[in-house]
Each structure stands twice: as C-alpha cells, then as structure tokens.
C-alpha cells in the first residue's frame, strides 16, 4: 500500500514570498498529481508528472523518482493562491490515486 | 469542454435519513470515481466504475452505501441510513480511460458537502 505524506500541513506566507510544499511516497509510482482545492470542495488538477519538472505560470512542480519525492513551488505568491494543495500518487499496478492529507496555504496581503 | 457536474452542492440531513448524490462526468469519459473526503484528510476512493461496471468497491461500506452507473454515463451514490461520521465532501471524478495510461488524468467535480446532524 502506498503511503503519501505531505509537509507542511499548514503554511502561512506573506504576499510575494516563494513557497514550497513537499510530498513523499513510499512505493514506486507511474505518475504524481498536484491538485488545488478551494473552500467548498472543488478540486482542480495543476500538474501530472512522472519525471523532471513542469512549469505553468508561477507554479513549478518537480519530482525525483529515485528519492520518491516531489515538490510544488509557487513564486511571487498572491492571496488568491490561498487553498489546500494535495499531492496524489498513481500506483502503476493498482492504477488508483492515493492522496496526501493536503497542505493548507494562506497567503496574507 | 464542460467539466464534471455534481449535485447538490450542499446537503444537511439528520442521522438515519437517506441521501443521494448525482454525478455527470465529462462526455466520453469511461472511468468514473467516487471519493469521500473527511475534513482535514485527503480523498479516499469509495468506488470506481469502468463504463457501467464496477472496477473497485473494496472501500465502500456496503451495508449503507450504494452506487450505480446504469447507462455508463451518470452515476448516483446513496447513503442509507446516514451516520454522523458520514459527514464529508463527496467528490466525483472522471477520466478518459484507466489512470496510468499516457496523458490520462482525472478531472474532479465541485463536490457535495454532506453534514449529518
């Protein structure tokens, strides 16, 4: 069974700060998702990656397969980035997503 | 492209009552998932459909939860009778095919927030 751990659980930052959220998993995966969840519950997929790095606007996601670790970075953070960020690991054999418990990010103006 | 539609957005019921949630996946998506997300936790898979067949329902509490996807499109999730611990957000997601295939990712609905009092 894949265990997915996220850190930190809660993060408060000032507008403009560089933010890093970490995700580690216990068994090999075929892909890792970073998701954003706003109050009310809806989830938006930010990235799906299986190696290297992806960038979209101010968001950057990296993954190190050997170390079983991924990071989500937000540059020049803004209050509208405030949300819960969840990583989810896709196990190759099970083809199911195992979710981390999420990181509550609050960006203060 | 329309996203995954869920209704209702919010529901408050008393314990021992019944409740049903509805999900309309993205058109053409064969795989549909129901997740339960308890406050402060990540989503947990309840059931996965491939077209109208069940792929995995190992974590579905079958004594009170049921789900169906009769025509391989829309799906309903029912709880009967509800317990206090069922209070959670119920998320529906869909994907074109089975996850793990190249460029296949899951798309999530807005969720239904259930409060059992």
Q: Is the pLDDT of residue A53 over 70?
A: yes
**pLDDT score at A2:** 75
- Which region, left, alpha or beta, applies to residue A81 given φ > 0 means left and ψ of -120 to 50 means alpha? alpha
Chain B residues whose beta carbon lies within 8 Å of the beta carbon of residue A41: 37, 89, 91, 110-113
B2-50 pLDDT per residue, tens: 799 999 999 999 999 999 999 999 999 999 999 999 988 889 999 999 9
Chain B window 62-101: which residues touch A at a Cβ cutoff of 8 Å?
89, 91, 93, 98-100
Using CB atoms within 10 Å of the CB of residue A80, give its burial: 0 to 12 exposed, 13 to 18 middle, 19+ buried: exposed
pLDDT at position B63, please? 96
- Interval A68-78 mean pLDDT: 97
Question: Percentage of residues in chain A with pLDDT exceeding 90?
Answer: 71
Give the per-residue pLDDT at B103.
61
CA distances from A55 to A47, A49, A59, A61, A73 (A): 9, 11, 6, 6, 9
A96 vs B contacts (CB less than 8 Å): 45, 48, 56, 99
């Amino acid at each position: 069974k894949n265990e997915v751990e996220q850190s930190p659980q809660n993060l408060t930052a000032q507008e403009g700060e560089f933010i890093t959220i970490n995700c580690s998993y216990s068994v090999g995966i075929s892909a890792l998702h970073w998701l954003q969840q706003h109050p009310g519950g809806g989830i938006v997929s930010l990235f799906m990656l299986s190696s290297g790095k992806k960038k979209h606007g101010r968001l950057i996601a990296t993954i190190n397969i050997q170390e079983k670790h991924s990071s989500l970075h937000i540059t020049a953070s803004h209050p509208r980035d405030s949300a819960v960020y969840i990583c989810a690991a896709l196990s190759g054999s099970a083809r199911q997503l195992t979710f981390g418990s999420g990181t509550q990010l609050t960006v203060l103006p | 492209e329309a996203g995954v539609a869920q209704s209702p957005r919010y529901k408050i019921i008393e314990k021992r009552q019944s409740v049903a949630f509805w999900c309309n996946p993205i058109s053409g998506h064969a795989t549909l998932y129901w997740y339960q997300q308890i406050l402060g936790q990540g989503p947990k898979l309840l059931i996965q459909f491939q077209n109208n067949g069940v792929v995995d329902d190992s974590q579905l509490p079958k004594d009170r939860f049921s789900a169906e996807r009769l025509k391989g499109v829309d799906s309903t999730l029912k709880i009967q009778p509800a317990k206090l611990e069922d209070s959670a957000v119920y998320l529906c997601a869909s994907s074109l095919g089975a996850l793990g295939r190249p460029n296949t990712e899951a798309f999530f609905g807005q969720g239904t927030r259930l409060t059992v009092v």
